[in-house]
Structure 1
């Protein structure tokens, strides 16, 4: 295995700049997920690492070797595609072994390597079948086996689970996580699914319009997003954004919002004292308060520092383990997350608690984080 360094990588197609100076330094054995919406440049970056796209400017290195001008077959990488890309006329065993055969690996060595990988992926009983006789999940295992058997320096995954149903995606996520733990391999994984990113990655690089918005651990990206784009992209349901003015209070600082309860709107002062350093320059000015749904829950749950007040429930959405409640704050929909049992008794106005220590604050003009 090896480290991967991307230094000021730029990709242009004519006058269109698809990647705008990407810098990523990936340690040996690290799992990086490239996350973003369609067209953000994540697949282009992966293809540049693979050698399927040229680098307009900058450098890409595997270990100490710059690979900009190295042919794809000589980069010692393996790629798993969205479409499986299996040979339909070959058995599972031959599909896995094909790359080794092309490299002139002796047959006994090939067979031993194929059996080892097939056993690791729990498909050693499928080696004599053709791809047409396999399920989607089994085909993806074969594609992964073909990559694993080569023992490359870097594994590349291009949205490998997007063709699978929800249950199979969950199973394959677990399989990929287990493989990474077992192999301690360097992996780069492209997805637009933020659940995949949060569950698989050591670090996530979030891309927008060809630029890295944030490169950090899943926990840091979830709890401390650097801007409103990242905050809105990661999290399901997404973060609530509430625009309000900062004011001084007896305790320090606060922000007034209007909450609909008992058929009318009532002013509530949210305590911003925990964020004093960030909000002090914004007294009398607008800020955006970001609250994840789990920071707004039923009264009596969570930190003793939570603020409790009544709020009218417009709609409830049961999700199984818990329930989402749609509230009306400042004339906008705000989503709260409560326990399933609590939601069964909701009628009209109920008591909710807000944990302001978990709030993220943003400048409404630049949309960047304040603290």
Structure 2
């Protein structure tokens, strides 16, 4: 295991800035996921840690050792690629031990390392096969096994599950999580899949345009997003946003906003539950109210610790997803979605009373998009 420090890392190609100053401190045994859309710089950052791409400024440290100018093979890292990168003419066992052979490790030690990794990954029965005889999930296990035998200080994963079908992705995700729990190894994992990030990570770095938007635990990122970008990116469906203004009525702080489906009505006062002290400074100022789909229910169907704020809206579309149903409606001229129980909503087209649990809401500055509470 090892600590990993990424300090002030920048990468530019000519006048184009890909990474604009990344600072991440990773403790021994942490599982960090770099999450973001294509082009945000996450794979570039991973390649810089691996030594496959030179940085323009900053430094990378592994166990307090600066590795900026250290060759990839001497960094004591192992990388698992999206494309498996297996040698087609070699058996599974040979693929797994090839790196050790190149490092001059004796045959008995190589065979013992391969046997140990194969047991962990449950691929002992595949050791004599060639990659072409394996399924995608089996090939990914072999690629992980080839990294495991190295016993590196840091594991790097570059979107390793993106080539697998949905069922295999879930299975391999579980295997990777089990592996991390058994070994306690430091891992940096790149993905654009928020479900992978939320289920695997001990911390997530949300990236956008070469910058880290938020670095926190999955729970904190989901419940207390740093800004509107993070709130919209993490969560399926995304957080609902409603524009309004902070107001005070009868000594209570709340948000006045237009909630009618068609718009044009008198703004409603939506009382906030235990708002942060600084929200009082925003009275009379515009804000954005954010609320997750699961904090919106059909009125009268869910018990809430706090009194819910009820609104009437016409359901536009219903999407059954099995355990839940997504009900899409319009709130104040903006499309919104509620995650409700299947038995609570029957069909689209009717006016329905929704209950908003504002104790679970977020408030954002419409100018900076930063969270206020």
Point out the more displaced range, 198-207 or 257-266.
257-266
CA positional deviation for 1:63: 0.2
CA positional deviation for 1:207: 1.0
CA positional deviation for 1:103: 1.0
> Any residues of structure 2 matched to 1:1-371 within 5 Å, and which?
1-260=1-260, 267-275=267-275, 277-300=277-300, 301-305=302-306, 306-344=308-346, 348-371=350-373
Is the Cα contact below 8 Å between 1:228 and 1:362 reproduced in 2? yes
Point out the more displaced range, 280-289 or 36-45.
280-289
Is the Cα contact below 8 Å between 1:260 and 1:312 reproduced in 2? no
Point out the more displaced range, 240-249 or 195-204.
240-249
Distance in 2, matches of 1:102 and 1:173, equals: 30
Distance in 1, matches of 2:311 and 2:102, equals: 68
CA positional deviation for 1:125: 0.4
Is the Cα contact below 8 Å between 2:318 and 2:327 reproduced in 1? yes
Distance in 1, matches of 2:158 and 2:74, equals: 20
Normalised by the length of structure 2, the TM-score is: 0.96
CA positional deviation for 1:247: 1.7
Q: Partner of 2:95: helix, strand, or coil?
A: helix
Distance in 2, matches of 1:61 and 1:278, equals: 39
1:116-163 deviations in Å (ceiling 9; x for gaps) = 111110110011111111111111000000000110000000000011
Is the Cα contact below 8 Å between 1:262 and 1:312 reproduced in 2? no
CA positional deviation for 1:286: 1.2
Q: Partner of 1:274: helix, strand, or coil?
A: coil
Is the Cα contact below 8 Å between 2:261 and 2:332 reproduced in 1? no
Distance in 2, matches of 1:60 and 1:38, equals: 23
Is the Cα contact below 8 Å between 1:262 and 1:349 reproduced in 2? no
- Say what the alpha-carbon RMSD is for the aligned residues: 1.7
**Unpaired runs of 5+ in structure 1?**
none
Q: Partner of 1:25: helix, strand, or coil?
A: strand
Q: Partner of 2:274: helix, strand, or coil?
A: helix
Pairs aligned (count): 371
Distance in 2, matches of 1:269 and 1:358, equals: 17
Q: Partner of 2:187: helix, strand, or coil?
A: strand
